[in-house]
Structure 1
């Protein structure tokens, strides 16, 4: 750990006013303050470097998952872990609705083994937009997608066949998901053939609908209390689970290694 972190700490430390302060005075108070700040810098550098390492190990940049979206998703995942809201599976599902529906914009990440289990198409809500989702809602019958952090709930058989309930945790953004029946399910309008014929995917009533040839495997994999993060272009979205200090505490405390 020290070999990985010290170069970062050294560069950060030399760039701060503390370096010049120590040159001016070796008083005990100055030395104590410097040691305290440098320890904090070491923690930040270690956490941020490991997050970057995980991103590169997963090789998701080449698949179109931007680092800022990945970082937000991981921050929420660690917050939920710290809050004991997730099960034992170390899985993170990321949906990026800032990308067009013609691109594969869903990833299921195995954080323990640093593997991408699924990378596939996913539909957004009918009233969220055409090829790109630009509008989001938490309201019933809005037929829009809802942004934020979810925890996968139980399965059931509905009008779309086998489906997976999603428990939205962001108050005011997606906490009506269960009431709205926003679920994971398969749909024949989520396919490359549909894109070729229509120039975009079909759209759901707000559900993150999946390809028919993969939805069952994805449900099998992510059920049982795993984290789902739906990202989108919204200047107003905020979440209590995007707390970096809590994420670092979860990581440094051993709740989750990355």
Structure 2
């Protein structure tokens, strides 16, 4: 019986390249869950002097990004995630373009919402033609073209019922004169578009060059219906990009109140574990 248990334990540890545990813990199904991996990615991003993106918004944006990535909807050579946080005032920087390969913020700037969505704050959202409202959800960037606002970037809405009419509505990324600090200083808000996530003419070239070719753009607002029903946001993540671990496994509950599970993978160690001197168990 003891030999059988030893064989089972050895087989279990083969799933991890390196594990650290406190001596009195009981290890079962070791892995780092999706939540921990998202938190780790957020903590790796160097925001520097940029406005720091709220973790709650990043969490949702990254979940949808991963699901679109795993579904083959995105360009895997450009791991770019663009986030528009429309829960914030338009007088604030609420656009982030993140390079998930280098963990850098490439752009942090203003972005306008639609006239029909509100004044300083976006409050209403629509998928309807002529609503002049912004549309929530995940987009995949399309082709670059020359339009009424100059060089612009088409968007393909991926969330049925929320933004899938974006292409037909001509919801695009474009530059606009009303997106600048002078307008904010005089009006206490940005100017507004007809539903497009419009950016400053000073950054439109960099924005398009960075996010074109099938990258992910996410427009966020804490609307209950969207958060509860949107497909790409709520789809269970099968695996994280570049991760071969079994992300759907989890630790069992400790057998004693003072039992602590300590684990390390890909350089991530839980904060709770740092106060302990772990016992290293390398693979045989």
Measured against the shorter chain, the TM-score band is: 0.7 to 0.9
User: Which residue number in structure 2 is paired with residue 69 of structure 1?
Assistant: 57
User: Which residue number in structure 2 is paired with residue 246 of structure 1?
Assistant: 237
Greater length-normalized contact order (CA 8 Å, ≥ 6 residues apart) = 2
Computing the radius of gyration over CA atoms, which structure comes out larger, 1 or 2?
Answer: 2
Match of 1:52 among 25, 39, 45: 39
Which string of whole-angstrom CA distances, capped at 9 and with x for unpartnered residues, describes residues 40-62 of structure 1? xx231xx4333223212214497
CA separation in 1, counterparts of 2:210 and 2:138? 18
Classify the secondary structure of the residue corresponding to 2:53: coil
User: Which residue number in structure 2 is paired with residue 159 of structure 1?
Assistant: 148
User: Which residue number in structure 2 is paired with residue 186 of structure 1?
Assistant: 175
User: Which residue number in structure 2 is paired with residue 25 of structure 1?
Assistant: none
CA separation in 2, counterparts of 1:230 and 1:146? 7
Unmatched 5+ stretches in structure 2: 1-15, 246-265, 269-284
User: Which residue number in structure 2 is paired with residue 29 of structure 1?
Assistant: none
User: Which residue number in structure 1 is paired with residue 91 of structure 2?
Assistant: 102
CA separation in 2, counterparts of 1:59 and 1:249? 20
CA separation in 2, counterparts of 1:223 and 1:6? 42
TM-score w.r.t. length of structure 1: 0.81
C-alpha RMSD of matched pairs (Å) = 2.5
Q: Which runs of 4+ in 1 moved over 4 A?
A: none
Classify the secondary structure of the residue corresponding to 2:42: helix
Taking the TM superposition and a 5 Å limit, the aligned residue runs for 1:163-174 are 163-174=152-163
Q: Give the helix-richer structure, 1 or 2.
A: 1
Q: Retained in 2: the 8 A contact 1:55–1:67? A: yes
Classify the secondary structure of the residue corresponding to 1:76: helix
Tell me the number of residue pairs that the alignment of Structure 1 and Structure 2 aligns.
227
The CA deviation at 1:71 is 0.6
Classify the secondary structure of the residue corresponding to 1:252: coil
Classify the secondary structure of the residue corresponding to 2:191: coil
CA separation in 2, counterparts of 1:60 and 1:48? 20
CA separation in 1, counterparts of 2:60 and 2:185? 32
User: Which residue number in structure 1 is paired with residue 109 of structure 2?
Assistant: 120
User: Which residue number in structure 2 is paired with residue 200 of structure 1?
Assistant: 189
The CA deviation at 1:63 is 1.6
CA distance change for structure 1 residues 95 and 247 in 2, over 3 Å: closer, same or farther?
farther
